[in-house]
Amino acid sequence: MSEEKNNVVEGTGLSGTGNFIHNYIQEDLKAELNKIHTRFPPEPNGYLHIGHAKSICLNFGLAKLYGGKCNLRFDDTNPTKEDVEYVESIQEDVKWLGFDWEDRLYYASSYFETYYQVALKLIQEGKAYVCDLTPEEMREYRGTLSTPGKNSPYRDRSVEENLDLFQRMRAGEFPDGSRTLRAKIDMASPNINMRDPVLYRISHAHHHTTGDAWCIYPMYDFAHPLEDAIEGITHSICTMEFEDHRPLYEWVVREAGYVENPPRQIEFARLGLTNTVMSKRKLRALVEDGLVDGWDDPRMPTISGLRRRGFTPESIRDFCERIGVSKANSMVDSSLLEHCIREDLKGKAKVVMAILNPLKLVITNYPEGQVEMVELENNPENPDMGTRQVPFGRELYIEQEDFMEEPVKKFFRLAPGKEVRLKGAYFVTCTDVIKDENGAILEVHCTYDPETKSGSGFEGRKVKGTLHWVSADYCVKATARLYDYLMLDNPDDPNGEMIMNPNSLEVRECYIEPSIANAQRGERFQFMRNGYFCVDTKDSKEDALVFNRIVSLKSSFKVK
């Protein structure tokens, strides 16, 4: 059995001591590394998504668990794609998820001078050189997985010449792409990352924090280990694709002189979710091409999209806990995330009656103009949430699906001649079906039995079906947005494709019991039998509420 397999305990997340990262840390703690310090290092080139949430929970969670610290660090060494909009959204999202970096908010760009000094030191020690190969030539010289690379003809430049050229690179004397600074390691290394990797490139680009102060920028593989070392990070947790870069990470830390308690890079498998695209580049394309309503479209897997949809921070943390941490890349079923939000909301969200597909029901023997209040529990799973009064009358709406003129077998809801219970009110029996000239059903007519009032102790007979309903005169009209997965395929799978689901959004006019009128933006409800809904924070108006369906009550998504 491989080491990885031994260490993976599915679903244990942070609380499980079987998580292999805990094992590493416990080893380190035994070796008297007595405090742990992690970091979450997003590049501010997009909004955070549910995959980032996994990394946030892991980094902040480990720090919390071991009484250590976790920094928030913007990995902003690449000037062209970054933006303050992202810097702000990232902070908002990390806070919303429930994590606190206290006073430790850092920018990798604030260490530009330090990276430069380390580069000078490497040059002086003969461990770095300025190379004039073009990108194409460099690719040729690099070799392949099976053949070694060749030394660059510029590899043996003198320290003086290298210092002079590198300082002139910084001074802006050379055009973009004309020269690089490379580490002098080993062009024959079996690990391609160690074949004299580029440390600096020339780019006359404006940077969002340093402006035009620099026209050379460090490569990720050079800057990242230095950022960690500068901040005293003990465990640098990253995703599996950096595994082969680890020798270079260690080389940079060591050669820069951080020899005491150097940061330790540990890789884990990134999160992939079914029917979900998580690549920031592809998410940005969806936004820029107008295929979604911004980064916070409720169908997006971004933290801001999930928040707007109605997900809670608790449900996302619970999800991250359940998926656990392993080294084996795998695809998690989106239904697990849906399960987590149902679990969180079931005892918390107020349960109300809303009709998404209205059908008029008239109780012909109920006095016209009479209104009676019936009492309903706010949450049957949580009696502490109390009760409320809901108006009942002669004209109601029920769901179209709750009536069948010619009922199929085992249909226990309303049909001609059949009796059902109206939730919290009376038994009614269908006596008539009113249709238009084309045969479409306009209304169903019923009679009610006054003896059967809910709570009256009536035991005369039983009915199988209970329907939810709203009063036609006192209901509130609102908009309900029903969602399905944004993607038909699994675009993050190696063979997956980004095929948009044409039916990912369905908008309906719905009727809701009047208690909803005071709903606040962002408030979450269970619509009886129809799922959990959240009042949209952007599009809702005081007299025109918009509800996003977070999730149906049972997993009933159409797309596989």
Q: Are strands 354-355 and 387-392 parallel, antiparallel or unpaired?
A: unpaired
Please name the amino acid found at residue 529: R
Residue number, 265 or 312, with CB nearest to ligand ATP: 265
The answer for residues whose C-beta is within 8 angstroms of residue 298's C-beta and 6 or more apart is 305, 308, 309, 310, 481, 483, 536, 548
- 360 scored as a contact of ligand ATP (CB under 6 A): no
Strands across the sheet with 105-107, in order?
A: 37-40, 69-74, 105-107
Q: How far is the CB of 133 from ligand ATP (least distance, A)?
A: 26
Instruction: Give the C-alpha separation, 200 to 315, whole Å.
Output: 42
- 245 scored as a contact of ligand ATP (CB under 6 A): no
Residue number, 270 or 322, with CB nearest to ligand ATP: 270
Secondary structure E strands in 240-357: 264-268, 271-273, 330-332, 350-352, 354-355
Selected from 110, 239, 357, 382, the binder of ligand ATP by CB under 6 A is 239
Say how many C-beta atoms besides its own lie within 10 A of residue 525's C-beta. 24
Please name the amino acid found at residue 145: L
- 45 scored as a contact of ligand ATP (CB under 6 A): yes
Selected from 194, 226, 229, 238, the binder of ligand ATP by CB under 6 A is 238
Residue number, 152 or 304, with CB nearest to ligand ATP: 304
Q: How far is the CB of 209 from ligand ATP (least distance, A)?
A: 16
The tokens for 408 are: 């199929």
Residue number, 54 or 264, with CB nearest to ligand ATP: 54
Mutual angle of helices 159-171 and 112-124, in 10-degree steps: 160
Catalytic positions: 43, 270, 280
Residue number, 281 or 464, with CB nearest to ligand ATP: 281
Contact window for ligand ATP (CB under 6 A) among 41-49, 177-185, 464-472, 503-511: 41-49
- 28 scored as a contact of ligand ATP (CB under 6 A): no
The tokens for 226 are: 């230095």
Selected from 55, 234, 312, 334, the binder of ligand ATP by CB under 6 A is 55
- Asked if residue 93 lies in contact with residue 119, where contact means CB atoms within 8 angstroms, the answer is no
The count of chain residues that interact with ligand ATP, using the rule CB under 6 A, is 15
Q: Pattern 397-426, binding to ligand ATP, x per CB under 6 A?
A: ------------------------------
Residue number, 45 or 114, with CB nearest to ligand ATP: 45
Three-state DSSP class for 141? helix
Q: Indicate the helix (H) or strand (E) that contains 524.
A: strand 524-527
Residue number, 42 or 491, with CB nearest to ligand ATP: 42
Task: Give the phi and the psi of residue 85 in degrees, each rounded to 5.
Answer: -55, -40
The distance from CA 292 to its chain's CA centroid, rounded to whole angstroms, is: 16
Q: How far is the CB of 288 from ligand ATP (least distance, A)?
A: 15
To which residue do tokens 């990912």 refer? 504
- 197 scored as a contact of ligand ATP (CB under 6 A): no
- 287 scored as a contact of ligand ATP (CB under 6 A): no
Instruction: Give the C-alpha separation, 137 to 14, whole Å.
Output: 46
- 310 scored as a contact of ligand ATP (CB under 6 A): no
Contact window for ligand ATP (CB under 6 A) among 48-56, 255-263, 347-355, 547-555: 48-56
Instruction: Give the C-alpha separation, 436 to 16, whole Å.
Output: 63
Contact window for ligand ATP (CB under 6 A) among 4-12, 46-54, 370-378, 446-454: 46-54
Interacting positions 530-549 with ligand ATP (CB under 6 A): none
Contact window for ligand ATP (CB under 6 A) among 43-51, 155-163, 224-232, 450-458: 43-51
Instruction: Give the C-alpha separation, 422 to 177, whole Å.
Output: 74
Residue number, 328 or 373, with CB nearest to ligand ATP: 328
Instruction: Give the C-alpha separation, 89 to 44, whole Å.
Output: 9
- 224 scored as a contact of ligand ATP (CB under 6 A): no
Rounded-to-10 torsion of CA 83, 84, 90, 95: 180
Residue 129: name the closest of 155, 149, 151 by CA.
155
Instruction: Give the C-alpha separation, 382 to 101, whole Å.
Output: 35
Selected from 22, 37, 54, 418, the binder of ligand ATP by CB under 6 A is 54
- 271 scored as a contact of ligand ATP (CB under 6 A): yes
The answer for residues whose C-beta is within 8 angstroms of residue 307's C-beta and 6 or more apart is 93, 96, 296
- 496 scored as a contact of ligand ATP (CB under 6 A): no
To which residue do tokens 């799978």 refer? 493
Selected from 51, 262, 313, 393, the binder of ligand ATP by CB under 6 A is 51
Please name the amino acid found at residue 235: H
Residue number, 471 or 490, with CB nearest to ligand ATP: 490
Phi-psi region of 133 (alpha: psi -120 to 50; beta: other; left: phi over 0): beta
Contact window for ligand ATP (CB under 6 A) among 6-14, 52-60, 172-180, 419-427: 52-60
Q: How far is the CB of 60 from ligand ATP (least distance, A)?
A: 12
- 329 scored as a contact of ligand ATP (CB under 6 A): no
CA gyration radius, the chain: 31
Q: How far is the CB of 45 from ligand ATP (least distance, A)?
A: 5
Which residue is at the shortest CB distance from ligand ATP? 51
Interacting positions 56-95 with ligand ATP (CB under 6 A): 75
- 280 scored as a contact of ligand ATP (CB under 6 A): yes
- Asked if residue 9 lies in contact with residue 18, where contact means CB atoms within 8 angstroms, the answer is yes
Residue number, 108 or 476, with CB nearest to ligand ATP: 108
Where do contacts with ligand ATP occur on this chain (CB under 6 A)?
A: 41-43, 45, 51-52, 54-55, 75, 238-239, 270-271, 278, 280
